[in-house]
Amino acid sequence: MRSIRFPDGTEVPALGQGTWHMGERGADRAAEAGALRLGLDLGLRLIDTAEMYADGGAEEVVREAVAGRRDEAFIVSKVYPQNASRARMAKACEASLRRLGVEAVDLYLLHWRGGVPLAETVEAFESLRRAGKIRRWGVSNLDVDDLEELGAALPDCATDQVLYSLEARGPEFDLLPFCAGRGMPVMAYSPVGQGGRLLRNPALRRVAERHGVGPAAAALAFVLRREGVIAIPKASDPAHLRENARATGIALSEEDLRELDAAFPPPRRKAALAML
């Protein structure tokens, strides 16, 4: 599987696992943890979660999944914007560490921008890094102007996690080139869309059929075709997870890309960054 390198030289697989909506029902947690463990078996070592997901329930699912396998997993979690201050971030991080059952988070992200100045959030991140509670930090749902506001701290920002898929190609206009020019990977959340609409698209289904895979794998292959992009689809079903993993072996042809561009036109002008 192709690897993506963070600015500090750490490498992770280009395809990871998301956990949004995991942990919401206690009866599902064992199966969800099992799916994450299967993902580790398949080489999908990066697991993305957040204190917001199921009010910490998703982090507890991750704890069960990585029990005895912590060294195999690269764990990403995210802090609420209201907790991204000097006064509150340390407490929020400690709560996430308890739920995850780990001593440090590999990557800690600002979930989206709120009222706390970015400079203060960076100071709080750096304090946690010096204390050994997080290994690196980044952001989520921030656009180019927000990243530019980081100023001298920008080289220390490990990633920007944004909504990116065939249905949401806005980041291609300037955000992806901006990050690529600075050696900063982009993490694509909801890369196969929401609600199944994308997967029913006729053009995507034709491309998938040409490669002998399902539409989800083809949609992921489209996102993964770009250097420096990490996709983090959520899959609780083992069959879906195995299908997602097949995306790493797909090389889309020029014909495929022309057909997908016709169905999902690339952005021609700057637009506000979409988010869920």
CB 270 within 8 A of CB 174: yes
Q: How confident is the model at residue 194 (pLDDT cuts 50, 70, 90)?
A: confident
- For the stretch 135-164, pLDDT in tens is 999 999 999 999 999 999 999 999 999 999
Catalytic annotation present for 53: yes
Q: Is position 111 annotated in a ligand binding site?
A: yes
- For the stretch 15-39, pLDDT in tens is 999 999 999 998 999 999 999 999 9
Average of pLDDT values for 90-117? 98
- For the stretch 211-258, pLDDT in tens is 999 999 999 999 999 999 999 999 999 999 999 999 999 999 999 999
**Taking the chain, what is the end-to-end CA distance rounded to the nearest angstrom?**
28
Would you give the DSSP letter of residue 15? B
List the structure tokens of 104: 């440090």
User: Cα 40 vs. chain centroid, distance in angstroms?
Assistant: 16
3-state secondary structure of 77: strand
- Distance, CA of 216 to CA of 201 (rounded, Å): 11
- Distance, CA of 66 to CA of 138 (rounded, Å): 22
Please name each of the domains of the chain with its CATH number. 3-263 (3.20.20.100)
| Polymer length in residues for the chain | 276
Average of pLDDT values for 95-104? 98
- Distance, CA of 105 to CA of 51 (rounded, Å): 12
53, 108, 164, 189: the catalytic one is: 53
